Amino acid sequence: MSIKENLHHIKSSLPPGVTLIAVTKTHPPEKLMEVYNAGHRIFGENKVQEMCDKYEVLPKDIQWHLIGHLQSNKVKYIAPFVSLIHSADSLKLLQEIDKQALKNSRVIDCLLQIYIADEETKFGLSFEEAEELLSSEAFQQLRNIRITGLMGMATNTDDQEKIRSEFRSLRSFFDRLKPSHPSLRHISMGMSSDYLLAIEEGSTMVRVGSSIFGNRNYSAGAPKA
Ligand SMILES: *Cc1c(COP(=O)(O)O)cnc(C)c1O
């Protein structure tokens, strides 16, 4: 199927209230334009440099979501235009986002990335760390960020029940936090291999790349950044 058909196929499988982030990392601007021309406007990148390069050359009504790990010293490059940062995982990073947002006279929406997988390699806060962060005085002083939800990545496994229980744990944490944190609206969970499962477990934002664009090629001339 073409990129456009893949996009329509996935969109038609999403219930109302679930937002699709088209994950465009490693793909060139021409491919992004196929999705853009099909009417899609929400794109996710996981590297700052690559997102900035694409922002420069693509239409300005695209909403750019940063979904990959973010280093504090790179926040300044995306602060003028980023629409949502999915990967906020420390107070220090949030303080820097707040500072750069203020410089740009904006409020930047962020999700707290929560560690739900059973793997060493995934970034994120534990439930306890997230609660501590949200209740800390230092966090409450930040005026130019808004925490609008949580993000999580399941373990990379074929075990569907394991993935389901990790998603479920994020959902119940969200439900527990929500009464005291009314700004929480989104749960970003689910990728190509597990987005339908994530939706069953309460996801409101799915981040889908390869099911739209095909497999990524990291070696042959793809932008690395
Ligand atoms: C690459 C990536 C995705 C999309 O992965 P696919 O399997 O291609 O759908 C989702 N979330 C994050 C954080 C990613 O880095």
Q: Three-state SS across 8-58?
A: HHHHHCCCCCCEEEEECCCCCHHHHHHHHHCCCCEEEECCHHHHHHHHHHC
Residue with tokens 């906020």: 88
Question: Of the candidates 100, 94, 66, 65, which has an alpha carbon nearest to the alpha carbon of residue 80?
Answer: 100
Best mutation site among 10, 64, 67, 122 for ligand 1, i.e. most ligand atoms within 8 A of its Cβ? 67
Atom of ligand 1 at shortest distance to CA of 21? 10
| Rounded Cα gap, residues 92 and 105, in angstroms | 20
List all residues whose CB is within 6 A of at least one atom of ligand 1: 23, 25, 46, 67-68, 191-193, 207-211
44 Cα to the center of ligand 1, angstroms: 9
Label each residue of 109-127 as H, E or C: EEEEEECCCCCCCCCCECH
Domains and CATH numbers, the chain: 3-213 (3.20.20.10)
Burial classification of residue 121, based on how many CB atoms lie within 10 Å of its CB (0-12 exposed, 13-18 middle, 19 or more buried): exposed
97 Cα to the center of ligand 1, angstroms: 23
Residue with tokens 């909403």: 63
At residue 122, the pLDDT reads: 67
At residue 123, the pLDDT reads: 86
At residue 219, the pLDDT reads: 62
Q: What is the pTM of this model?
A: 0.95
Identify the residue whose C-alpha is closest to ligand 1 atom 6.
Answer: 209
| Rounded Cα gap, residues 90 and 77, in angstroms | 19
Sites in the chain below the pLDDT cut of 70:
121-122, 219-225
